[in-house]
Structure 1
Amino acid sequence: MFRPLSLYIGLRYTRAKRRTHFISFISMISIAGMALGILALITVLSVMNGFQKELQSRILGMAPHATITEYPGPMKDWQTAADTAKTNPQVTGAAPFINGQGMFTFSGRVQGALIQGILPEVESEVSDLASNMVEGDLQGLLPGDFKVVMGSQLAASLGLQLGDKVTMIIPTANVTLAGAMPRFRRFTLSGIFEVGYQFDSSLALINLSDAQKLFRLKDSVSGVRLRLKDIYQSREIAREVARELDGPHGISDWTREHGNFFAAVQMEKKVMFLILLLIVAVASFNIVSTLVMLVTDKQADIAILRTLGTSPAEIMQIFIVQGVWIGIFGTLLGTIGGVALALNVTDLVAWIEQVSGSQILASDVYYISFLPSELRWMDVITIGCASLVMSFIATLYPAWRASRVKPAEALRYE
Structure 2
Amino acid sequence: MALGGQGFETLVVRRYLTSRRRDGFISLTAILSVVAIALGVAALIVVMSVMNGFRAELFDKILGYHGHVLVQGYGGKLDTYREVADDLRQMPGVARVTPFSESQVMVTHNGEAWGAIVRGFPEDMFKQGGVAVKRVLDGSLEAAPEMGGIVLGYQIARRLGVTAGDEITIVSPKTVSTPFGSTLRFVAYPIAAVVEIGVYQFDESFIGMPLTEAQRFFRLGDSVSNIEVFLDDPARVDAALPDLTSIVGRRAFVRSWKSFNQALVGALQTERVAMFIVLTLIILVAVFNIASSLFMLVKDKAADIAILRTMGASRGAIERIFVTLGLCVGLLGILFGCFLAWVFIANIDAIKSAIEGLLGLNLWDPSVRFITEMRALVNWWEAGLTVAVAVILSFFATLIPARRAARLDPVEVLRYE
TM exceeding 0.5 = yes
Task: Please name the residue that 2:349 is paired with.
Answer: 346
Deviation (angstroms), 1:61 = 2.4
Task: Please name the residue that 1:157 is paired with.
Answer: 159
How many Å separate the matches in 2 of 1:243 and 1:125? 30
Given the alignment, which residue of 249, 254, 264 partners 1:251? Answer: 254
- With over 3 angstroms needed to count, the CA separation of the structure-2 counterparts of 1:173 and 1:369, relative to structure 1, is closer
Deviation (angstroms), 1:156 = 2.2
- Do structure 1's residue 320 and structure 2's residue 323 form an aligned pair? yes
Given the alignment, which residue of 77, 91, 96 partners 1:93? Answer: 96
Deviation (angstroms), 1:172 = 1.8
- With over 3 angstroms needed to count, the CA separation of the structure-2 counterparts of 1:71 and 1:354, relative to structure 1, is closer
Return the letter of the residue paired with 1:181: T
| Counterpart contact for 2:138–2:163, Cα < 8 Å | no
Task: Please name the residue that 1:390 is paired with.
Answer: 393
Three-state SS of the structure 2 residue aligned to 1:243 is: helix
How many Å separate the matches in 2 of 1:178 and 1:201? 35
How many Å separate the matches in 2 of 1:127 and 1:351? 36
| Counterpart contact for 1:42–1:342, Cα < 8 Å | no
Deviation (angstroms), 1:373 = 2.4
Given the alignment, which residue of 80, 83, 101 partners 2:83? Answer: 80
Task: Please name the residue that 2:279 is paired with.
Answer: 276
Given the alignment, which residue of 207, 223, 227 partners 2:226? Answer: 223
How many Å separate the matches in 2 of 1:92 and 1:260? 27
- With over 3 angstroms needed to count, the CA separation of the structure-2 counterparts of 1:319 and 1:134, relative to structure 1, is same
| Counterpart contact for 1:146–1:187, Cα < 8 Å | yes
Deviation (angstroms), 1:181 = 2.1
In structure 1, runs of 5+ residues without a counterpart are none
How many Å separate the matches in 2 of 1:381 and 1:321? 21
Task: Please name the residue that 2:172 is paired with.
Answer: 170
- With over 3 angstroms needed to count, the CA separation of the structure-2 counterparts of 1:43 and 1:311, relative to structure 1, is same
How many Å separate the matches in 2 of 1:3 and 1:380? 31
- With over 3 angstroms needed to count, the CA separation of the structure-2 counterparts of 1:369 and 1:248, relative to structure 1, is closer
- Do structure 1's residue 69 and structure 2's residue 72 form an aligned pair? yes
| Counterpart contact for 1:346–1:370, Cα < 8 Å | no
| Counterpart contact for 1:148–1:187, Cα < 8 Å | yes
- With over 3 angstroms needed to count, the CA separation of the structure-2 counterparts of 1:251 and 1:12, relative to structure 1, is same
Three-state SS of the structure 2 residue aligned to 1:141 is: helix
How many Å separate the matches in 2 of 1:281 and 1:390? 7
- Do structure 1's residue 111 and structure 2's residue 102 form an aligned pair? no
Deviation (angstroms), 1:91 = 1.4
- Do structure 1's residue 45 and structure 2's residue 45 form an aligned pair? no
- With over 3 angstroms needed to count, the CA separation of the structure-2 counterparts of 1:80 and 1:132, relative to structure 1, is farther
Return the letter of the residue paired with 1:100: S
| Counterpart contact for 1:343–1:375, Cα < 8 Å | no
Return the letter of the residue paired with 1:112: G
| Counterpart contact for 2:72–2:227, Cα < 8 Å | yes
- With over 3 angstroms needed to count, the CA separation of the structure-2 counterparts of 1:346 and 1:128, relative to structure 1, is farther
- With over 3 angstroms needed to count, the CA separation of the structure-2 counterparts of 1:358 and 1:49, relative to structure 1, is same
Q: Deviations along 1:251-286, whole A, 9 cap, x unmatched?
A: 122222334334433433333333333332222111
TM-score (norm 1): 0.87
How many Å separate the matches in 1 of 2:261 and 2:130? 16
How many Å separate the matches in 1 of 2:329 and 2:416? 31
Task: Please name the residue that 2:382 is paired with.
Answer: 379
How many Å separate the matches in 2 of 1:117 and 1:371? 30
| Counterpart contact for 2:108–2:168, Cα < 8 Å | yes
Task: Please name the residue that 1:196 is paired with.
Answer: 198
In structure 2, runs of 5+ residues without a counterpart are none
Return the letter of the residue paired with 1:218: G
| Counterpart contact for 1:27–1:326, Cα < 8 Å | yes
Task: Please name the residue that 2:239 is paired with.
Answer: 236
How many Å separate the matches in 2 of 1:266 and 1:124? 38
How many Å separate the matches in 2 of 1:195 and 1:122? 15
| Counterpart contact for 1:61–1:127, Cα < 8 Å | no
Q: Deviations along 1:180-212, whole A, 9 cap, x unmatched?
A: 222222322222211232111112122211222
Q: Pairwise mapping of residues 289-304 of structure 1 onto structure 2 (< 5 A)?
A: 289-304=292-307
- With over 3 angstroms needed to count, the CA separation of the structure-2 counterparts of 1:27 and 1:61, relative to structure 1, is same
How many Å separate the matches in 2 of 1:247 and 1:254? 20
- With over 3 angstroms needed to count, the CA separation of the structure-2 counterparts of 1:167 and 1:336, relative to structure 1, is closer
Return the letter of the residue paired with 1:69: Q
- Do structure 1's residue 20 and structure 2's residue 23 form an aligned pair? yes
Return the letter of the residue paired with 1:94: V
- With over 3 angstroms needed to count, the CA separation of the structure-2 counterparts of 1:272 and 1:21, relative to structure 1, is same
Task: Please name the residue that 2:135 is paired with.
Answer: 132
How many Å separate the matches in 2 of 1:76 and 1:13? 81
Q: Deviations along 1:63-90, whole A, 9 cap, x unmatched?
A: 2221123446622222222222222232
| Counterpart contact for 1:316–1:400, Cα < 8 Å | yes
Q: CA RMSD in A?
A: 3.1
- With over 3 angstroms needed to count, the CA separation of the structure-2 counterparts of 1:129 and 1:279, relative to structure 1, is same
- Do structure 1's residue 287 and structure 2's residue 290 form an aligned pair? yes
How many Å separate the matches in 2 of 1:184 and 1:72? 23
Q: Which moved more, 1:290-299 or 1:149-158?
A: 149-158
Q: Percent identity?
A: 33
Q: Deviations along 1:331-384, whole A, 9 cap, x unmatched?
A: 122223322332233355457779999976466776555543223322321121
| Counterpart contact for 1:92–1:125, Cα < 8 Å | no
Aligned pairs, how many?
Answer: 413
How many Å separate the matches in 1 of 2:103 and 2:362? 37
Deviation (angstroms), 1:50 = 2.7
